[in-house]
Structures are given as C-alpha cells and as structure tokens.
Structure 1
C-alpha cells in the first residue's frame, strides 16, 4: 500500500455499539443497549421547529450558533452553576456533543501530545486523539464503585500532557464526580497549563437529590475547560445531533477556527426552536424526577433477580453485575442474551483498559414502561 493511503486509525475496530446494534436488529431483540429513548419528544418542541421552518429560518445560522440560543444557554449556565459565559465569544452551538469533543481535541492536540483519558470511557475520545497524532494516557477507575485513584492520575501528568478528559455524570458507570473530587482535580491541575474537556451530556439527569458538579462551578477549572453538552440527550431527540460547547474566550477562539471549517454552522430552525423551548426551565429541571422514576421502576423489577447492582447516580444507564449467574466474558453473555433471549445490552469491557472484564452489562432505561417490563421478564428468568 502506498504511504499516502495508509490508515490514520489502523487499530480502530467496529464500535461495540454497531456490533451489538446490528445483532439486536438481526434477532429482533429488545434494545436496551444504545443510549436513545424509544418514546417521542415533546410535541411542543417539534411544533416550534416546524414554526421556525415556516417562518423562513431555513438558511445558514451564524457560524457560532443563533445568538438568541447562545444567550439562553449562557443564562442557564449562570443560574445553575454561577459562571457567566459571554454568548458572543464563549459559547458555540455544535452538531451534538460528539462534534464539540472532536473539535476541542482537534484544536489543541498536536502530534506527540498526551491526553489523559479516564477509563471506562465513551468510545469517541480515543479516536479523536489518535487521528490528531496525540497519545492517550489511561487512568482506570477501580472495580469497587468506579472510584478514581487521584494519586495515580497525578503521576500520569508529564511535560507532554496537554489535555485531560472528564465525563460526569459518567457513562457507562452512572456515577457522579462529587464536589470534593472536582476540588481535588482542580488542585492537581492548578500548577499546570493542561486543558480540560468536560463531557457533561447527562447534566440534567441526576438522581436522589444529588448535584451535578459542572466544571464551570470551579474557578480554576472553568478557566481551562471546554464544557460539552447535548440537547439530544436532554430533550429525547438524539437524532437531531444538537449540542453546545462553553469555554473561556481564548480557548473558544481556537475552537471556532476548527468548527467553521468542519461544519460551519448547525441546523438553524432547530436552534430557533430550542431558544424558545429553553425559556421554560421545567423542560430540563423536571428530567431528574422523570428519569429517576424509570430507574426505580427498572431496579424494583430486578429485586428478586440474581443480578447485583448499585443504583445509578446519573445518566440513563444502569450497570448490572451478573456474577451470580455466570462467569462467562461479558461480550459472550451480551451476545447470548441477544441470540437466545432477545435482549440487547452493552458489555463494559469494551470501554475498560486492556478490556478488563468486571462481569457487568450496561442497560439503558430511557424506554417506555412496557419495553422495560418486557426486558424485566427476560432478566428475571435468567
């Protein structure tokens, strides 16, 4: 093969989401694997999009996003987290959080730079680092509650470290990084010039009265952080691919240099609709109770099963420990559940360092109650 045609990602294999999704469709399985709801979004939101189209908002939006939406996002963040981001220079609307994450990495990671990735990690981080010539450096969460060893993280920092990626609420574990943990991270990073990328797509899905500790709440972290978020996750419209990124102006300036040539701008009528929809705070503040009801329904239905679990603290995912059932590898069990029992989940080893197998599967409970009932019948028969 000629040098010019060599792959930039030679070791990247088909995503576990694609593998499991294809198998689930092939066997007509109940799909609790991928993170998307199987219920409709609010009709009012869809009507707002339609109205925006009919009012003629069908051409390019401003490159950083419709200003009215950026203003609303700024107000939301300031009210929730007491941090002001200027809508003109510090907020950009993106094609989902994934584009925000990829753009931030592309803007700052140079060949040979090291990026600290906390495992298990969502699978879009590492390819973005690698394709830009960066080197992922891993810190693995432990098997007991997915806690982080802060001393181990500190020891991973070198002169080549340019970025650290944090995800809270954390996918796939469902845990939330506490205020104390965020303060610890702030102290570790304070003497450095390391940029932080904070993936906060589940910012509005928090349970049991807990608080989402956004990086924007912590003064030193906020000055070095890209906060990436998702309207798709928040408003049950993952197919719309709508997100945003907030960061200090000097960081956002570089972000937009990449953004403008990657996508330039995102869906204009949807931005107009979201700007109006976000005015009603209840549309996102009520999500905690909405999803906690689903989580509790799912876990109560497993009370007499052989699975072990700690209730998810946030996100719409729940990990189930299956060691009372079998010791087989998690990928084997996940595939067997699809083929034999018609139920799809995600094996977590795919996201761990060296494919560490904790004997847990991840289930998405962002589903209709009747879907969860059918899944529970299967899980309780195992």
Structure 2
C-alpha cells in the first residue's frame, strides 16, 4: 500500500475572501464617482480650470480610492485575511480611509502617524474604529509600522499595508475606474476636453504614476505637473535624477511631501515639477476657500498654486485650453492649523506676499517669473 500523501488545505478561508471582495466592490458601487468642478476664472482668459472634488468620498478625501485598492490588492494576494490586524504608516487621510474599510471588513486597524498630525484627523481615524500610534520623528514611520506588524503576527496575524510601496501597483492605471479615467471621461463634453495640464501633488506617488501612465497609454497630449511642498525631497530628487536622496524632517502640508523618494513615485512619467513654499500652499487654500465658498485643505492649496502658475503662462502666451487639478480633502480638518492665524504665526509663516500674488493673479492673470 502506498504511503499516504501529506495535505494541508486552507481553502476554508476563501469564503471570507469572497465576501470581503464583495463588500469592497459594493462600496465602490455606492460611492459612484466624484464631481468635476469649474474654478471661477474670467471667461476672456480662454483657459478653464477644473477641480476633481475627491472630498465627496465617504471618508472625505482622495485616499478613499487608494485605500480600497490597497485592501483589494492585499486580500487577493493573501496577505490580509479574517482577523488580520492591518497597520499603516500615514499622515492622516489614508489612515482614515483604511480605518473605514477595516471596520467594513471587521478587521483591527492601527495607524502609525506623525505626532503633529491635526487633531481632527486623529479623531476621524478613531471614529472609524482605528487606533492611533503617534511617533515624534516622521522618518521612523516605516520601521515602527514593521515592528507593530511583526508583534501582531505573533498574536494571530498582522500586515503592514505600506501604501508608499504598493500605491502605484495596487491601482490599475489602464482604466477600471481609476482617477485618470474618471477625469478624462468627465471632460469629454467640455470646450477643451483634453487638458493641457493635469496638476497633482505627491505623497505616495501613486496618483501621479496612475495619471502619467494613463495619458501615455491613451496617447493623449496632456502633460503632467507634480507640485511638491517645502520640506519634501521629491523635487530635488527628480531634478537631479538622484532617487536615493533623503531630507530630514517632513512636510507641513499633510498628505503630500515625503522625506525620502517612495517606491511608488515614478518620476519618468512626470513632465514638470514645481516646489511650492508652505506659505503659498496655505495662502492658496484660503484664497480658494473664499472663491469656492467652502474650505479646502492645504494639499489642494499646493495643487492650485501650481495650477495658477500654468494658467497664467497659458494666458500670457494666448493659449486656450484647460487645466485639471485635485480638491484632495475639505478644509474643516485643518481648522486648528492652516486656517488658524495663531498656528500660522507660531510656525513662522508670513502669508502676506503669497496672498498679494494671488490677488494680482485673480485681477490680471499675471504671475511673476
């Protein structure tokens, strides 16, 4: 009689996986899509500026798309299963969105966040059932997340989601309802349906990678501009073609800017980069909040500073066309920081020159070079 074969069968876990994927896809169906808003500019300029309003997602930011993709990617790879503790390194918005999806799937969630993250964001993570683990030095986020995942593994299972590595690969950049496909679909009936520029910031680098790849795949004339806040390393690394560069500290503009070049940052698909001082980002967020009649966050201010520069350049050259950027999240999350004059003063920021430049742009379309 032949010796019996050894068999290990773990297929029972597939029932949980099937239901988890169903729940994530159902959320995508309920969320539908986000609005594309026209920013008020004078008609005689001949340039239209659009904001893709990602604040209308259930968790209030652009990161809702990323978090859903990361969960699908991790579950389908077998990294996350029933009872897995999910850990993420995040400045806030990704953690809020991942906490939402972890709660949807009945999974524990721990957000490893910089200690200077806005209290409003920390509260939103906790409201979704997540736990906040604060670190004083942003450069230790990754190591601390790995450590917590290893500790969780000894207690039944832990996974570091690692948005900074997996953002560009978890999203299908060819289509399948990614943000690039959504923007170009919504632009089809506009006067200039193929934007001259799309402007985004870089946090993980996943959004810029998705859009940059998509425009090349679809053979579109659109160019991609990435704006980088003060304190971030992306601009210097891209300009010098030195991806190994690092910078001490971190960005004051939550959600974008990193001290190191993240694995998801694909510099080769970027046509232009611009470094934006923090005072300009905050002044632009306040300026846009008045123009739109609603508060927008600091990363939206960074995006708009870059977009205004490109609009002004088109106006100066008499070029008609369109520019698209992102409204990443609402400004209410930053009432105690970017919209608080005392906080701005304590940070040593003077918004006066940037505010004056924005007023001049609004009146004349001019931008200093």
TM-score (norm 1): 0.33
TM-score (norm 2): 0.34
